[in-house]
Amino acid sequence: MSTPRALITSVEVTPVAFADPPLLNSVGVHEPYALRAIVVVRTDAGHYGLGETYGDETHVARLKRAGEFLVGTDAFNINKIAERVAESLADDSGQGGHGTGGMVTTTSLEDRVLSAFDVAALDIQGKVLGVPVSTLLGGAVRDEVEFSGYLFYKWAGHPGYADDQWGAALDPSGIVAQARKMVDQYGFKALKLKGGVFPPDEEAAAIEALREAFPDILLRIDPNGVWNVETAVRIGQRLEPVLEYLEDPCLSIEDNAQVRKQVNLPLATNMCVVAFNDLPPAIKAEAVDVVLSDHHFWGGLNRSRLLAGIAQTFDLRLSMHSNSHLGISFAAMIQLASVTKNIDYACDTHWPWKKPEDDVIVPGVLSIAEGKVKVPTAPGLGVELDEAALARMHQQYLDAGLTKRDDTSYMQSINPEYELQVPRW
């Protein structure tokens, strides 16, 4: 049997936009549309592979440039793809295009550009060989992946738009009502509250109200690093009896290390350990217990497997971080979680926050029931591109007129007094 090959003949990168509710966070509020970039890699034998990542224009420009460097490369050689991506970035200043609205700016440039191509190449490999991506990554250890319900403080609707189906959630009772809807609809067994929005004691009260309303559900809070050490220790100690883990109470490795010494809870992060070179100092400082992996900035699925190996070696636990995303990213997250034995917690997802009809994949494959998603078993990622939907969502991007995620400016357009502050409390 000859060695499989799949020569890349073209790479298309298409920015798309989808409706997003006014979700509040530590840097402002989500805009009416979230942006993503859809990567379609085509091969000489007529296969295509899909990738999805941030839609900020700087990132899109980098993806397009990297795509040009990949033509002629074999989709079975991801090491070569990584080399070509690095070459495409040789003269890059590294500024901008982080895709997180300024919340996390220290991810590796090469890894976040490589990620979408790693996923697309694996999708192609799976289609050529007739196996799911999970098989290429060493084989699924679970056939369903568990997700947590991701709660946000939010307004009833974007100013000037109709209210959305979720309603307002601006205090403990609003958060409990939102959680009730999420749990009824999706069956989540774990809930995470996006904090860093209101004074910490109010957010702690929301967690306590959730505990009372849902005695058996696992709870987490994530203020995205805007608490100082003193606040983080005080609130952390208050919530010791109710939390599964405390996520990014402070921003730096040093501050989180101090908090961890004084709070008897696992400390999780997707902000102070976001690249391979963060691991040695974080491990040395004993700053965190749980790394929230995210293939979009850890270099794709292959390099996320490497992270899982390092985590196992150094006795770190793993969970999974999410940003607003569509179905291609969701499929990739699910394939990765299905093969990662040491994911010890339900993974995060923003999936419930988007309208089901807002997607670029043929619907019907991915759905959350009982808090879990069945791992697709069709070749590759297991999802197919809907070309008409891609065109429609690209038009939505053009009509939205947004070129990058900017929660802060949007918030300031509504409340001119709003200022960024880290730490805020």
| Interacting residue ranges for ligand GKR, rule: CB under 6 A | 23, 25, 100, 103, 194, 222, 224, 270, 321-324
Least distance from C-beta 322 to ligand GKR, angstroms?
Answer: 6
Which of the choices Mg ion, ligand GKR, none does residue 322 contact, using the CB cut-off of 5 to 8 A by kind?
Answer: ligand GKR
Q: Are 91 and 69 in contact (CB under 8 A)?
A: no
Which residue among the candidates 59, 127, 321, 354 is catalytic per the annotation?
Answer: 321
Instruction: Please name the amino acid found at residue 293.
Output: S
- Ranges assigned E (strand) in 65-173: 144-146, 149-152
Which of the choices ligand GKR, Mg ion, none does residue 52 contact, using the CB cut-off of 5 to 8 A by kind?
Answer: none
Least distance from C-beta 352 to ligand GKR, angstroms?
Answer: 12
**Catalytic annotation present for 194:** yes
Joined together, the tokens standing for residue 3 give 């060695």
| Size of site (CB under 5 A) for Mg ion | 3
Kindly tell me which of 125 and 224 has the beta carbon lying closer to Mg ion.
224
Residues in region 237-276 near Mg ion by CB under 5 A: 247, 270
Report cis status (omega within 30 of 0) of the bond before 423: yes
Instruction: Say which residues have a Cβ less than 8 Å from residue 371's Cβ, sequence separation at least 6.
Output: 146, 147, 148, 149, 186, 187, 188, 189, 190, 346
Which of the choices Mg ion, ligand GKR, none does residue 108 contact, using the CB cut-off of 5 to 8 A by kind?
Answer: none
Which residue among the candidates 59, 194, 350, 404 is catalytic per the annotation?
Answer: 194
Tell the residue number behind the tokens 């040789």, with chain if given.
Answer: 90
Least distance from C-beta 89 to Mg ion, angstroms?
Answer: 26
Residues in region 185-224 near Mg ion by CB under 5 A: 222
Least distance from C-beta 252 to ligand GKR, angstroms?
Answer: 15
Kindly tell me which of 224 and 302 has the beta carbon lying closer to Mg ion.
224
Tell the residue number behind the tokens 């296969």, with chain if given.
Answer: 47
φ and ψ of 230, to 5 deg? -60, -50
CA distances from 168 to 19, 66, 196 (A): 17, 42, 17
CA distances from 263 to 190, 192, 235, 238, 287 (A): 21, 19, 9, 9, 12
Using alpha carbons, select from 75, 68, 87 the residue that is nearest to residue 121.
Answer: 75
Which of the choices ligand GKR, Mg ion, none does residue 25 contact, using the CB cut-off of 5 to 8 A by kind?
Answer: ligand GKR
**Catalytic annotation present for 47:** no
Least distance from C-beta 322 to Mg ion, angstroms?
Answer: 9
Kindly tell me which of 136 and 250 has the beta carbon lying closer to ligand GKR.
250
Instruction: Say which residues have a Cβ less than 8 Å from residue 195's Cβ, sequence separation at least 6.
Output: 26, 203, 221, 222, 223, 224
Which residue of this chain has its Cβ atom nearest to ligand GKR in the complex?
25
Kindly tell me which of 14 and 324 has the beta carbon lying closer to ligand GKR.
324
> What is the C-alpha separation between 152 and 154, in angstroms, rounded?
6
Burial tier of 341 (Cβ tally within 10 Å: 0-12, 13-18, 19+): exposed
Tell the residue number behind the tokens 């070179």, with chain if given.
Answer: 277
Least distance from C-beta 299 to ligand GKR, angstroms?
Answer: 17
Which of the choices ligand GKR, Mg ion, none does residue 100 contact, using the CB cut-off of 5 to 8 A by kind?
Answer: ligand GKR
> What is the C-alpha separation between 133 and 129, in angstroms, rounded?
10
> What is the C-alpha separation between 329 and 343, in angstroms, rounded?
18
Kindly tell me which of 136 and 239 has the beta carbon lying closer to ligand GKR.
239
Least distance from C-beta 345 to ligand GKR, angstroms?
Answer: 13
Interface residues toward Mg ion, by CB under 5 A:
222, 247, 270
Please give the positions annotated as active site. Answer: 194, 321
